[in-house]
Structure 1
Amino acid sequence: MLAHRALGLGPALRQAALRPRNVARNPALHNIVAKRSVQTESLPPSAAQEILNKQRLRRPSSPHFTIYQPQLTWLGSIANRVTGAGLSVLLYGYALAYLVAPDTFSSVNVVDFIHGLPEGVKYAGKAILAAPFAFHSWNGLRHLSWDAGKFLTLKGAYSSGYAVLGLTAVSTVGLLLL
């Protein structure tokens, strides 16, 4: 007994003894192999969803961005989505407001309202609009260059990412000074 356990032959011996041709020749082995050691039960179809939900709760979660060191590539991707969504919300929000109340949101009224604001608020508002616009514009050009097959290496992705950040800073300042 100990000899085959020490050598790891247990599974091999069981497999050889319970091969289909050996089982067919020996009726005693046939009865042993034919018996099921697992009990099954019929469940209604509604139980399937409950079982699936319990299995989902026990699954390990995939690696999340909170356990990784921030990288320029995925920070740029997230920022591109956020700036695009923010600019879209502002554009569509203003368009809907203009449709609802064209007299209140006319160009004359908007210019008069902004003219009455303090200088600091004007520059802050321009910065809040200029930075996402500049970043999204430059990052859009970066994505177009990727579509053309440029800057696809890791070094190229990082150099173009830093270029986008630099151009965003310069163009934001330029837009603020207009």
Structure 2
Amino acid sequence: MFLCQLGLIGSPRGALRSGVVVSRASRAVLGKRFNSQTVKTSFQKEQEILVAQRRNRPVSPHLTIYQPQLTWYLSSLHRITGVLLGSAFFAVTMAFGVSTLFGLGLNTEKLKQYYREKVPRWADWTIKGSAAYMFAFHFGNGIRHLLWDTGRELTIKGVNRTGIAVLVLTAFAGTSFLFW
């Protein structure tokens, strides 16, 4: 009677409260009580059972079942460039701060002179190119995120279109920064 009141089994006429008709076989299964036994085990035995159950679980395919998308790469690259640019800025700022605090005499003139004398031409182009393209990409992708914050270009087509626009902007702006 209690299950009938909850709507778990049908009324004597075979209908649930929601109006769904339930067969006699279904009422028999729903109304049947299942016997379960409790077995006392030690903590060690419970852990062994748990480990055995985990061994039999299927491995989730995770990212291997998905086709890589432009948004994944741009999101990862945005984070990486942000960390690298932020770390470089933090390191230079800390160097100037420590130099000022301890009177080491580091200033922009000495840094410029050291850079011109000690850094080879190939390393100069590598450092400038890396910084230029990372800054151009991070700036462009930041604008893209601000565009999304306004609720625009949130469809798959819009996301791909803005991703390609960021890559084009990065190519042109990074190259112009490199030769500036």
Q: TM-score, normalised by structure 1?
A: 0.69
Deviations 1:71-95 (A, max 9, x none): 1011111111111111111111222
Q: Structure 2: where are the runs of 5+ without partners?
A: 1-24
Equivalent residue, structure 2, for 1:4: none
Equivalent residue, structure 2, for 1:16: 28
Q: Is the counterpart of residue 156 in structure 1 residue 155 in structure 2?
A: no
Deviation at 1:58, TM superposition (A): 5.3
Equivalent residue, structure 2, for 1:111: 112
Deviations 1:112-153 (A, max 9, x none): 122123333211110111111110100000000011111111
**Aligned 1:59-98 pairs, distance under 5 A:** 59-98=57-96
Aligned with 2:165: secondary structure?
helix
The CA distance in 2 between the partners of 1:17 and 1:139, in whole Å, is 59
- One-letter amino acid matched to 1:38: Q
**Aligned 1:101-140 pairs, distance under 5 A:** 101-102=99-100, 103=104, 105-116=106-117, 117-140=119-142
Aligned length, in residue pairs: 153
Query: Aligned pair in 2 of structure 1 residues 150, 17: CA closer, same or farther (>3 Å)?
Result: closer
Equivalent residue, structure 2, for 1:142: 144
Q: Identity percentage over the alignment? A: 38
Equivalent residue, structure 2, for 1:8: none
Which moved further from structure 2: 114-123 or 77-86?
Answer: 114-123
Equivalent residue, structure 2, for 1:40: 39
Equivalent residue, structure 2, for 1:6: none
The CA distance in 1 between the partners of 2:132 and 2:170, in whole Å, is 9
- One-letter amino acid matched to 1:175: F
Q: TM-score, normalised by structure 2?
A: 0.69
The CA distance in 1 between the partners of 2:106 and 2:56, in whole Å, is 54
Task: Tell which has more relative contact order, 1 or 2 (C-alpha 8 A, sep 6+).
Answer: 1
* Greater per-residue helix proportion: 1
The CA distance in 2 between the partners of 1:133 and 1:98, in whole Å, is 22
Query: Aligned pair in 2 of structure 1 residues 79, 66: CA closer, same or farther (>3 Å)?
Result: farther
Computed over aligned residues only, the root mean square deviation of the Cα atoms, in angstroms, reads 3.3
